[in-house]
Structures are given as C-alpha cells and as structure tokens.
Chain A
Amino acid sequence: MTIDVALIIKAIIILLIFGITLLIAMYSTYGERKVAAFMQDRIGPNRAGPFGLLQPLADAVKMFFKEDFIPSQASKWLFILGPCLSMLTALMTSAVIPFGDSVKYESAPGKVWDIPVQAIDVNIGILYVFGVVSLGVYGIMVGGWASNNKFSLLGAIRAASQNISYEISMGLAIIAILMMTGSLSIRHIVEQQHGGNWNIFYQPLGFIIFITCAFAECNRTPFDLPECETELIGGYHTEYSSMKLGFYLFAEYINMFVSSAMISSLYFGGYNYPGMDWVQAQLTSSLGEIAGHNVGTLIGTLVFFAKSLFFVFFYMWVRWTLPRFRYDQLMNLGWKALIPLAMINIILTGGAILFLKPLIVSFLK
C-alpha cells in the first residue's frame, strides 16, 4: 500500500513533466510570435483571449481542420512516420532531465520516501540524450525523403549533415564537463553545481561551443538551413500539411525547450541557485523537515524553469537578431572552428584538472 502512494507520486511527477513540456512547447509558439513582434516594434497576437493567450489553441484548431494531404508519389507510410518520429524523439529526451531535487513523502513514521523530480534517473543520462537526439534526425530525414520532392530531400540532407557535424563538437564540449564531474548522470552533474558553483564559470568556452551546437541541432537560426524558406520553400516539411506539419513545428519547440533545459542543467546549475542552503535551512526550521524540503524543491524547480525559459527566450532573441549562415559557412564553422576549439577545451580542462587544481588546493591550505 505504501509503495503504491510513492508510485502514484512518481506517476504524477512523470505526467507533470510530460504535460509541462508540452505546455511550454505550446506556449513557445506564442512566445516566439510575441518576441518576434516586440523585437520588430510590433505587438504580436493579441486578439484570441487576453493578450492573445488563446492563440496556441486557435493555431491547433486551424492545424487540425486543415486538409491532411499526402502527395500521390510520396511513400505513404514513411510520410506518416516522419513527423511521428520527430515528435517521439523530441518528447523522449525530457525523461532524463532533473527538473528538481526530490519530493519527500512519509508513508509511515520513520519511513520516508525520497522521490526525485525526474522521470528516470539513468546513470548514463547524457549518453541517452545524445542517442535520442541523433535519432531525431531520422524524423526529418525520413519525412523529407518520403515526400518525393527535391526541396524536401535537399532540406532533409542538409538537416542530416548539419546535425551529424554539430553533434561531434557538441559531444566534445560535453566531454570537458564529464572530465570535471566524472559522471554521465545529469542529476549527478547538477548536484555537483550546488549553490552558485556553476559549470559556466569553469567552462565558458565549452558553453559557447555547446550552445552554438544546440542551435544547430534544433535547426534554429542562424543554422536553420534545413527549412530555409528563401532557398528551399519550406525545407523538409514542404509537402506537409495539417497536424503532420504541426507535429514537425511542435517537435522543434519541444527540442528547443529540452535543449534549453540541458543547457541550464549542464552549465547553469539546474535547480541550484546561490543561497539555496540558507533558504533550505529557513524552510526546514519553519515548516519542518519534510514540508520544508518539498517547498525547497518547488523553489528549485521554479528556478530551473526560469533558467530554461530564459534560454528559450535566448533562442528567439538570436533568431530575430542573426541572419542565416550560408551552407559552406555552416560547415566551416562546424568542422574548422568548433571541433578544434572543443578539442583545445578538452586539453585545457585536462591540464587544469592535472596541474591547476592541486596547485589551488595546496594554495588554499
């Protein structure tokens, strides 16, 4: 019986994470349009509901009621599989992200359940994310290829080669972090950044490389070549309509949120914030051991969402600032600049761990 309640809490957490991810992705479309408008001195959608807050619903209704068209020469099943794959892989990544510390639940006196606010805490979290993100290319590739349209195919090829190129430097940038923490579990990495001890202060170069690659992985400007309207009509989703197109667009926003969450947990301390120990002590003394811990977790989770949403905003901010790269520039940047930089970063980190750390430790003694 006691196990059941703990399981229910876990299930609620998983459902919440799932729901919140979808909700945030939904409202990122609204946010994107608002941010775009504000940066162009406009107001943006404001007719559907107060401040246009019902706009995503209106968009969804529009998407559902559009004709669902499949080109006659397209490979039908692959054409349907494409957006499904995109959506699936986008949603799968949010499973391993630690959204908060843990929820404590006392089932019987002295028997306290400690349930982490995370769908699953796998000890190879980062590998899992990388694996799933690489699968995400299949959604685009399959969809673009199955459309039987040269623009779709070109977009798909671009997406595939771009994602492969930028995954390398992304992985190399992460390796520096792994060297510092010695763990592949994202929760472990976040826990090591307790308080204000964030990785960004040790890995500024790694952060710049990672965020650049994250932009490329999400197909966001300045790297949105797979769907650049000026050259490829709509890129890999040229032939898509109705909710299939909606899935592709939606997957992009989920990817954006998930990668923002990754950035904030890998480099900006996740649910850690300066002074959290003091806040925790205050809460524990005023609310008691378990309730205090849970409220502290809630605050940490809110901090985590604040950080993630800032990066979602940053994605949009950059989109309305920078023009698109040319394809050769994109490849040059990926292969000739970011990969060597990432390798230098690894060497520097290794050197620092080997020589600088003992030096500082002995100096502090």
Chain B
Amino acid sequence: MQLTNRSKQVSNKQMTFAERIYLPAIATGLGITIKHFFQKKVTIQYPEVKQFLGPVFRGRHVLKRDEQGRERCTACGLCAVACPAEAISMVAAEREKGEEKLYREEKYAAVYEINMLRCIFCGLCEEACPKQAIYLRHDEFVPVFTERDQVIWGKDLLAENMNNRYLRKAWTKEEAREQDLKGVEAEPRTQL
C-alpha cells in the first residue's frame, strides 16, 4: 500500500570511480558551503532589532481607554474567571460624582493586578472581555524582571497611555486573516 509519493527506491549499485575517490563530491560540498558563506545572513540582532511577530501576537497586557481617555474596564471579573492561570485579580469600585472623565461606566476597577509569573499569555482574558478593555499588545513583551515587586503589574503599568495609544491593524484573528487575504503588507521590522 502506498501512503505517500515520497518513497524512494534504494539502489545498491556499485559506485563509479569518480564517486569512489570522493574528491568531486567533496568539491561540490565545498562549493555549497562557500556559497552560503557569502549569502545574506538570517540573524536578527535581537535586543536592537525586533522582528514583527504578526498583528495578533500576544505580548504584554494593556488596559484600553476609550477616545476620551476613560477606562473601559468595568471590573466585571470575566477576565479573571476566564484566566486559566488565575493571574488576574481586581477590586471593583463605584464611580463617584466628578469621576466621569476617568471611568466610562458607573463601576470600575479600583485595583487591577496581573501576576506576570502566572500569566501564560493565552489571550483568554482578551476574548472574555465584554468591554474590549484588556488586550495583549502585539508589539511589546513583558520585560525581564529580577525583583519580587516587579512581578505583579498594577494599573499604573497596565493602563493605556493616551499620549502613546496602543493601535494595531487587526484586533482579532479574523480581521488579521482578512487583511492578509487583501494583501495589506506586514509592518517592517522595527528598529528600537
């Protein structure tokens, strides 16, 4: 029974003289390696040059704000429920009068913490969020930390900076696929 077309007939024929003295084959091999010697290198100088990893790569988290800079999160806790690593915890609070410019809805997260040692960057929080408040950035990683107090990220690190908003071409995998089909070119490697 033939499963694939890749089967190869093995032959035990005697080697010819040219094959037996090895030298032509060695010369061919040397030619191949020297060709690679002058070829363009594939190495990316990582910390200096970062490769674009795709529009929906799951990097570090960001708590989105809306256009007027109000936090979208309503502390519903769905992300924490969805989180398989139980990395997310939050404390909800009610919006006071005069805080309308800070929080979009009546309830907000007074404390929102993600334990970066627990997080597995699965993106389930992103999918669970009904308010489109939490996203995993496609362009930044969680930087290496060495101290205990750097492990748990609070709102100070997570909330979006309105001067440098986080935008991307595609927000879902479906959108990204559509854009790929349309032939929207990928972002070039960014020099940092």
Binding site for B on A (CB under 8 A): 35, 38-43, 208, 317-318, 320-322
Distance between Cα atoms of A41 and B29 in the complex (Å): 16
Closest-CB distance, B177 to chain A (whole angstroms)? 31
- Cross-chain pairs A/B with CB under 8 angstroms, 19 sampled: A38-B41, A39-B34, A39-B36, A40-B36, A41-B39, A41-B42, A41-B43, A42-B41, A42-B43, A43-B41, A43-B43, A43-B45, A317-B30, A317-B33, A317-B34, A318-B30, A321-B26, A321-B32, A322-B29
Contacts A38-B37, A322-B26 supplied; 12 other A-B pairs, CB < 8 Å = A35-B37, A38-B36, A39-B33, A39-B36, A41-B39, A42-B41, A42-B43, A317-B33, A317-B34, A318-B30, A321-B33, A322-B29
Q: Which residue of A lies closest to B40 (CB)?
A: A41
CB distance from B178 to the nearest CB of A (A): 34
B residues in contact with A39, CB < 8 Å: 33-34, 36-37
Specify the chain B residue showing the minimal Cβ separation from A323: B29
Q: Which residues of B contact A38 (CB under 8 A)?
A: 36-37, 41
Nearest chain B CB to A133 CB, angstrom units: 24
B23 at the interface (CB under 8 A from A): yes
Complex alpha-carbon distance, A320 and B23, angstroms: 16
Residue-wise, chain B 7-42 has the 8 Å CB interface mask toward A (1 for contact) of 000000000000000010010011011101101111
User: Which range contains the number of B residues in contact with the other chain?
Assistant: 10 to 19
With both beta carbons as reference points, the residue of chain B lying nearest to A314 in the complex is identified as B30
Contact status B30-A321, CB under 8 Å: yes
Q: Which residue of B lies closest to A35 (CB)?
A: B37
Quick check: A42 and B42 within 8 Å, CB to CB?
yes
Query: A320 near B33 (CB under 8 angstroms)?
Result: yes
Q: Are B26 and A41 interface neighbours, CB within 8 A?
A: no
* Known A-B contacts A208-B23, A321-B26, A322-B26; A41 and B33 likewise in contact (beta carbons under 8 Å): no
Cα(A335)–Cα(B23), bound, Å: 18
Inside 8 A of B45's CB, which chain A residues have their CB?
A: 43
Shortest CB–CB separation between residue B46 and chain A, in angstroms?
11
Q: Which residue on A lies nearest to B39, using beta carbons? A: A41
CA distance A322 to B32 in the complex (A): 11
CB distance from B40 to the nearest CB of A (A): 8
Instruction: Name the residue on A nearest B36 (C-beta).
Output: A39
Q: In the assembled complex, how far is the CB of residue B132 from the closest CB belonging to chain A, in whole angstroms?
A: 42
Within 8 A of A (CB), among B140-156: none
Closest to B37 in A: A38
Q: How far is the CA of A321 from the CA of B23 in the complex (A)?
A: 13
A320 to B37, CA, bound (A): 11
Q: Which 7 A-B pairs have the closest CB atoms?
A: A43-B43, A321-B29, A321-B33, A39-B33, A38-B37, A41-B42, A39-B36
Q: Point out the residues of chain B lying under 8 angstroms from A40, CB to CB.
A: 36
| Residue among B29, B30, B34, B37 having the largest count of chain A Cβ atoms under 10 Å | B37
